[in-house]
Structure formats: structure tokens, C-alpha cells
């Protein structure tokens, strides 16, 4: 049987744990798996692009578990009353191929994205960071704000979105938290004096949310929104003036902000920093960029964490996603038995 976690069950799980502890524990799980990087069979995600968005499959496995996520990105969905990003995923047993978990990942992806941003910032941002700029105040913004406030000590967040209603929504949703929000009239105003800058825009376009003149010495830039071919947020000059860190280089070269630059532009694997193999930030005034596109290993970590926590709490429904094998050589027998039961019902 396969454990099934739907949206309401995921919401209950996060509620039982607490959204802030959930983010922290998930960040730890992601870091643990990144340190085991060589143990995983990795590949760039498979993407199907259209004029309106992208649909992707993201697979990864180690010797014990295989995971994949189905995810989309359709910026125009909000005009239809739909989410820009939605996802679901599967965690399977490598020895048998049997799925042990089928889970919603729309909520969980938002949590794992902010948790990954937190992992990178813990390793790359200057110690004592207290002010963050949050450019783009859509569906991911509350998660990022909570992660950095609760686990990195950010006290003040300068916020800007081209849609003021999105900024209002963010501030209302986090009114219970002791975060000082500063509404700004432009991205340039928001980033002034920031220790950390997070960009979270959704439009599928080659945008320049951040230009070299807006960057100050020592900033850590958490570039989250540029995550598919033809979609960027940072001016190429920002990247050239920084030390750039990536999740999985073959994927980021295609999808990240570094798609603007030559193939030999130097980048640093985040996992090598987390494993202590290379230095991250090399000085207080160095500008660091986490060119985050989202990698399948983060979803693997999320699925294994959710599976363990749901089992511990007895949450989720056991579903027959795969037929039970009375005789493993007789698959047709399941149809025969179902047909017989249907015939009896019709006669009755």
C-alpha cells in the first residue's frame, strides 16, 4: 500500500509540527542530503515548454529511495484564479520499485524552496545579517520571510512588488510575527542597505530586477525567480561581479540567471561548500549569489521528511496505487475479479 498525503493532510502535518520548526527541520534534511551529493543518481529535469509556461518532471535517487516531482510554472494562471506553481510527487523503494508515498507538493515545494534558500544563506551570507529586501511578494514570499526571520535573525524586511495588493497580502499574513516590514516604491529603494536580497518574480521574461548599481559590498543575493530558459532576474553584470553558487550546474546553465553568460563562467557547487570541500564567502565585502532554480534532490529530502513525519503521526491514507499481488504472474485476474463483482451487482 502507498501512503497518500493530500493538501488537507499536508496542512495538518505542517500545523502539527509548526510552520517555523517545519522549515528548520526541512532545511536540516536538505543540507544532510546535499552533503551526501555523490551518493545520488542525478539529472537535469525534463521540461515541456509552451507559450504560457512549463511542465517539468524532476527525478533523483540514491541506493535506497527514488523520487520524482511533477511541477508546473504558468505565470498567467493567477489571472484565471489558479496558482502559478503546483506540484505532486512520489517516493519509491529502489529494491522493489514500489511507491511508498504519493504526496501533494504545492505547499511542500514552497516550504522546500525557502528551506533551500535558508541552507544557502546560512553558508554564504555575512554573519549578523539583519535586513533583507524581498522583491516579488507573491505566493513564495511569506515562506521566505519566515525562514529568514525565524532561522537567520532577519528583523527588518523591505518589500516591493509591482502589484501593491501582493505586498499588502504578505504583510497581513505575517502580522503575528515581530518582523518590521518597510513598503518600498521600487526595487532600488528596497535593496538599499540590505544584507540579503531575495528576488521572487514570476514573469517568464528576461528581466533585470537587480542591476550592478543597486548592489552593495557584502550583499548575499538569493535569486529564486529565474528558473527556466528565457527567464532571468539579474543583470549579467551583477553575476560577473559576484561569487556565484549553484545547485546542479548542468541544469542551472540552462535555467538559471547564468544562462546569460558564457559556458565557462566560473560557478561553485553549493554542495561542496556544505560538505566543507571549498570555501563559500571569501570576505566580508564579497558579493555572493545563490542562483537557485530548484533541484530534484531538494524534493527527495522533502518527500523523505514528509513520509517519516506522517508515519510517526499516523497521518495520510493508505491507497492501493499498485494491485495487491495474490499471484504476481496473474495481473489479468484483477480485471476478471472486478468484472465478476460488477456482473453480480448488475444481476442484483
Active-site positions read 227
Strands of 44-121 (E only): list them: 46-49, 54-61, 65-73, 87-93, 99-104
Long-range contacts (CB closer than 8 Å, 24 or more residues apart) made by 67-76: 67/91, 67/92, 67/296, 67/299, 67/300, 67/303, 67/304, 68/296, 68/299, 69/105, 69/109, 69/296, 69/299, 71/105, 71/109, 73/204, 73/227, 73/228, 75/202, 75/203, 75/204, 76/52
Rounded to whole angstroms, the Cα distance separating 61 from 97 reads: 11
Rounded to the nearest 5°, which phi and psi values hold at 45?
-70, 155
Please tell me the distance from the alpha carbon of residue 183 to that of residue 2, in angstroms, as a whole number. 46
C-beta contacts of 316-319 below 8 A and 24+ residues apart: 316/3, 316/4, 316/5, 316/9, 317/3, 317/4, 317/6, 317/9, 318/1, 318/2, 318/3, 318/4, 319/1, 319/2, 319/3, 319/4, 319/102
Dist CA 48 CA 45 (whole Å): 10
**Phi, psi for 52 (deg, rounded to 5):** -105, -10
Sequence-distant (≥ 6) Cβ neighbours of residue 153 within 8 angstroms: 128, 129, 130
Q: What are phi and psi of 346, to 5 degrees?
A: -65, -40
Amino acid at each position: 500500500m502507498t501512503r497518500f498525503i493530500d493538501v488537507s493532510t499536508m496542512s495538518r502535518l505542517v500545523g502539527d509540527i509548526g510552520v517555523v520548526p517545519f522549515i528548520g527541520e526541512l532545511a536540516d534534511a536538505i543540507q544532510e542530503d546535499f552533503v551526501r551529493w555523490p551518493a545520488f543518481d542525478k539529472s537535469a529535469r525534463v521540461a515541456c515548454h509552451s507559450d504560457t509556461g512549463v511542465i517539468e518532471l524532476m527525478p533523483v535517487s540514491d541506493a535506497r529511495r527514488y523520487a520524482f516531482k511533477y511541477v508546473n510554472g504558468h505565470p498567467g494562471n493567477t489571472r484565471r484564479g489558479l496558482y502559478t506553481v503546483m506540484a505532486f510527487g512520489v517516493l519509491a523503494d529502489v529494491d522493489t520499485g514500489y511507491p511508498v508515498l504519493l504526496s501533494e507538493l504545492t505547499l511542500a515545494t514552497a516550504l522546500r524552496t525557502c528551506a533551500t534558500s535558508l541552507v544557502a544563506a546560512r553558508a554564504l551570507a555575512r554573519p549578523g545579517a539583519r535586513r533583507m529586501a524581498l522583491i516579488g511578494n507573491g505566493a513564495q514570499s511569506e515562506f521566505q520571510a519566515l525562514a529568514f526571520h525565524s532561522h537567520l535573525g532577519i528583523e527588518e524586511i523591505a518589500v516591493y512588488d509591482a502589484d501593491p495588493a501582493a505586498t499588502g497580502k504578505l504583510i497581513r499574513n505575517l502580522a503575528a510575527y515581530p518582523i518590521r516590514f518597510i513598503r518600498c516604491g521600487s526595487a532600488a529603494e528596497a535593496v538599499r542597505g540590505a544584507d540579503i536580497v531575495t528576488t521572487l518574480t514570476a514573469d517568464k521574461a528576461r528581466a533585470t530586477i537587480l542591476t550592478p548599481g543597486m548592489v552593495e559590498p557584502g550583499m548575499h543575493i538569493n535569486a529564486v525567480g529565474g528558473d527556466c530558459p528565457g527567464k532571468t532576474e539579474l543583470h549579467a553584470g551583477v553575476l560577473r561581479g559576484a561569487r556565484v553558487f549553484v545547485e546542479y550546474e548542468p541544469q542551472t546553465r540552462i535555467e538559471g540567471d547564468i544562462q546569460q553568460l558564457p559556458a565557462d563562467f566560473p560557478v561553485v557547487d553549493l554542495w561542496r561548500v556544505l560538505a566543507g570541500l571549498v570555501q563559500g564567502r571569501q570576505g566580508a565585502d564579497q558579493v555572493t549569489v545563490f542562483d537557485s532554480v530548484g533541484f530534484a534532490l531538494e524534493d527527495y529530502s522533502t518527500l523523505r521528511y514528509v513520509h517519516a513525519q506522517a508515519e510517526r503521526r499516523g497521518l495520510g491514507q493508505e491507497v492501493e496505487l499498485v494491485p495487491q499481488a495474490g499471484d504476481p504472474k496473474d495481473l489479468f485476474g484483477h480485471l476478471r475479479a472486478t468484472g465478476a463483482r460488477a456482473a453480480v451487482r448488475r444481476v442484483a
